[in-house]
Amino acid sequence: MKFVALLSGGKDSIYSTLKAIQNGHELVCCAHLAPMQENTEEESYMYQTAGSEVVKTQVEECIGVPFYMREIHGQSKIKSLVYENDGDGSDEVEDLYILLEQIQANHPEVEGVSSGAILSTYQRTRIEHVCSRLNLTSLSYMWRMSSQRSLLDSILDDGEIEAILVRVACPPGLMPYRHLGKSLRDLRDKGVLDHLKDKWGMHPAGEGGEYETMVLDCPKLFKRGRLVMDETEIICDSNDDGVGILKIVNWRVEKKNDIDESTNNDANERTLICCQITERVQATNSSLPSTSDDGRAENATKCFLQSMHTPNVQMMRGGLCHISAILSPVSCNEETNEADAAVREFLAATQMLEHLLAKLFPGDVPKTSSHDILYVHLYLSEMSHFAKINQHYVQFFGTHLPPSRACVAVGKGALPGGRRVMMDCSLQRGSGGYLRSDGDSLDSDSYLNQAFQNKHHLLRKCLHVQSISHWAPVCIGPYSQANTLRSALVFLAGMIGLVPESMRFIEPTSSEVSSWEVQLCQSWKNAAAVLDGLDDGGRLMGGKLEDSLGALVYVSQTALESLLDVDDTDNYESVPWKRLWSRADIISRESLSCNGGIVMGSVDGSAPDAQPSDVDPSLYDEDGVLYGGYEDEGTWREMTGNTENTTVEESEQTLHVPLLMVCLPELPAKAQAEVELVCATRRAATCLEVCTGPIVTETTSEGYDVSSLHNLDMPWNAGYDGTPSRTVSTESNSNISMSSVSRSMGSGCASMSTVMASCTSCPDAMNLDTEQVLSQMIDLAIKTAKKRDEDQTLFSIKDILNVRLYYTAASVSKLGATKANVQYLDDGSHLRSQLHSVLKLKSTMYYHEKLGSSDASNIPAYTVVPVLGMHLSSGEEKPQVENEGTPLLAMQVFMCDVLRTEAELWIRYNR
């Protein structure tokens, strides 16, 4: 795209402009915000002002593009990280808006804006805010690009930048009369910057404001000439010893004879990334055994119901809620255009959601709204409907601090009653106001005020990066990369295999590797980068892939079809499910073991190689966290229970993240793989311990007594009239095998259980007691939600936030060498009603036993998701029985107690 570069004249903005050009964008002009003439030394929160007088010459005579400048009239009025225009135009951010608006008028072809933000969320969010208002794309290629030292090397070596210091503010390190005007390259090469980093903790690249620079030459960008400083003057701040500015009095341009007008399109870097990912996938595939697949039996009944479907709402203590299965009351069949019908259904679903939100906490100020939603699952019948739906999605959820999102297509006719849209939402009471308020002028008794009084944990934190960078894919939609709940739980948006800097899918560089394989590998890398980006200055808010409580791996039908023509000459009709799951599992396990190739904390300076030299390395845990995140060494040793390093066995156990893998018809933007995670923050994982319980395998019990249903007020959600199908079942489901594995954070804090029910032989579908199977799956999920060393779980049915039940909704067969035939057989309405029955019964029995009440109006939220195929990987090297037989049902059950989590964190970390 054509872009305008925001230039300060310093190394960061110049190098960012160069990186934008190298990634295929075209520089149209440059823009600069300068201090007002009568106050050239006033410091800005947003813009570098030192050396401002030279930038015009730098742009017009050295780079050779049009130059636009505006004086800074506003001040840093809104100092919070979140910026919203208050309409009076007095903030300095509005000067940027006016300048870019002028450039748009003169250059309507401009689509993007590059900036040099590295770690400053303050700067990045304001630039993104202005870009959003002007419908421009923010390009921020230096955002979390690498560690400070590595970034400095890239600027000086890769960028070939020659720069001098024009401002220092780093006493007792960099001093005005000693270092102003000095070459940045010389200071690095002579070890001055490394010495100051080791002694005083200075940022080598100056991200902490220790110094600012002026670029004299950048051969890859300065094609016409280089700057020469003829006369300079050092001005020191009389109120701040050690702070000084180099005033440039006279300067000139030394012309270059050979002008190279090449665009510097650098495809080598993109090729290198593709090669690295391809090699990783090849290394994993080399260990795959040769497998054959006998196909899969399908047992389903075609039944499309047009009845009313009511969303399920689960309200947990602490204000955490889940609303699932939000559907249009009826399927819109009168529309001739499928996309328009999908839009009408989405609008009807959002109206229902809005109605529910208004009733959740009616006394809250501000009222519960879509701002409080932290995660959205959007299920579509066809991905082609997404573009039109998304226009209305933006209007409902907004563009400012939106929820994270995962969007997939499950197939035409696969949603209840032939609907085209289904939605799930997780929300935290008061979190929207928490993100958008500073806590002032609140009622002292309000829930929101109580949240602000908690100085130990953040009720909610939202990571929404809208700039294209080297860090992770920009979220288009909009949706946030991640939402963090109570400084403990991270809900990651669905990650697909886009290369961040190009926003194009990664491509294999070898014919032996499929596109979906490198996309899956890149998806894990992107997820790891987002987790690392949550670190927030070393406050342990980030995490690693191994901190995942549960992982959902999506692969598309296209990925499956890419394996159809491989080694199937003897079994032409078979579908290669085993090969698909084996490859996906090995790629995912390798990514987990190396954290997607991302070194946690390297950008923020909290990685092990960033430890101060005068601190004993043994006082850091394996992730480079001092005292393992506790306040001192004694507490660390006491809480961990031993004085030795973690054993190899324990370390390996952290990698046993259960993976539920499902195959769907379509993924976003024609992606072939996607990864969705719920993780513990590094703080929570370090203090509370995240571990995987043993995999438990059972067969279904011989009988299931449901006679008590007649004595309960038991409304059915859809498809039933309230009368149980039988009072006592004596049918045996002994041919159904179940495997369950959970991953828990702390004792009774949070857990994700994944259960798979499989047929060990082909049963008669009419004799299958589905309610019995679902009941046992729920019991097994709760029973296994514990640590390996615990005798029993601390969770019960009341602690389940939501249940996601996956079932095979279609018959998949091989149509040709590269094509699969998919026939949808069931929309899941009966299954949904049966799951409701089981959850209602178990909740009623629990409350009757514990409280003496049969009222169980608050049951776990649940969603029934149709898929083409599924697989459970426990992560065990030698699982007892894993996916034995043909998978029938898979269930993810998320249990949590957010108040207990906060209390445990306070005891082990904050106190």
Residues 60 and 108 placed together within one structural domain of the fold? yes
Residue 438 counted as domain residue: no
Residues 471 and 489 placed together within one structural domain of the fold? yes
Token pair belonging to 696: 């438990």
344-352: long-range pairs with CB below 8 Å, 24+: 345/419, 345/420, 345/421, 346/389, 346/392, 346/393, 346/421, 346/423, 347/392, 349/421, 349/422, 349/423, 350/392, 350/396, 352/311, 352/326, 352/327, 352/328
In sequence order, what DSSP letters do the residues of 108-143 get, joined into one string? TT--EEE---SS-HHHHHHHHHHHHHTT-EEE-TTT
Residues 249 and 349 placed together within one structural domain of the fold? no
Residue 444 counted as domain residue: no
Residue 678 pairs in a beta bridge with 491, 550
Residues 394 and 463 placed together within one structural domain of the fold? no
CATH number at 316 reads 3.30.1330.40
Residues 323 and 394 placed together within one structural domain of the fold? yes
Residue 126: the pLDDT is 87
Residue 256: the pLDDT is 87
Residue 874: the pLDDT is 81
Residues 195 and 301 placed together within one structural domain of the fold? no
Residue 412 counted as domain residue: yes
Residues 168 and 316 placed together within one structural domain of the fold? no
CA gyration radius, the chain: 29
Residue 159 counted as domain residue: yes
Residues 722 and 865 placed together within one structural domain of the fold? yes
Residues 216 and 286 placed together within one structural domain of the fold? no
* 125, 93 contact by CB (below 8 A): no
Give the count of domains, the chain. 4
Where does a domain end: 266, 286, 308? Answer: 266
Q: How far apart are CA 156 and CA 165, in angstroms?
A: 14
Residue 174: the pLDDT is 84
Residues 576 and 607 placed together within one structural domain of the fold? yes
Nearest one of 883, 575, 577, 578 to 736, comparing CA atoms: 883
Residues 742 and 638 placed together within one structural domain of the fold? no
Structural domain span for residue 893? 693-911
Q: How far apart are CA 518 and CA 506, in angstroms?
A: 7
Residue 452 counted as domain residue: no
Q: How far apart are CA 356 and CA 208, in angstroms?
A: 46
Residues in the chain with pLDDT < 70? 37-48, 75-89, 171-172, 238-241, 258-272, 285-309, 334-336, 439-445, 476, 536-540, 565-573, 604-655, 700-734, 761-767, 788, 815-818, 854-856, 876-884, 910-911
CATH number at 200 reads 3.40.50.620
Residue 453 counted as domain residue: no
Residues 80 and 224 placed together within one structural domain of the fold? yes
Residue 447 counted as domain residue: no
Where does a domain end: 373, 399, 433? Answer: 433
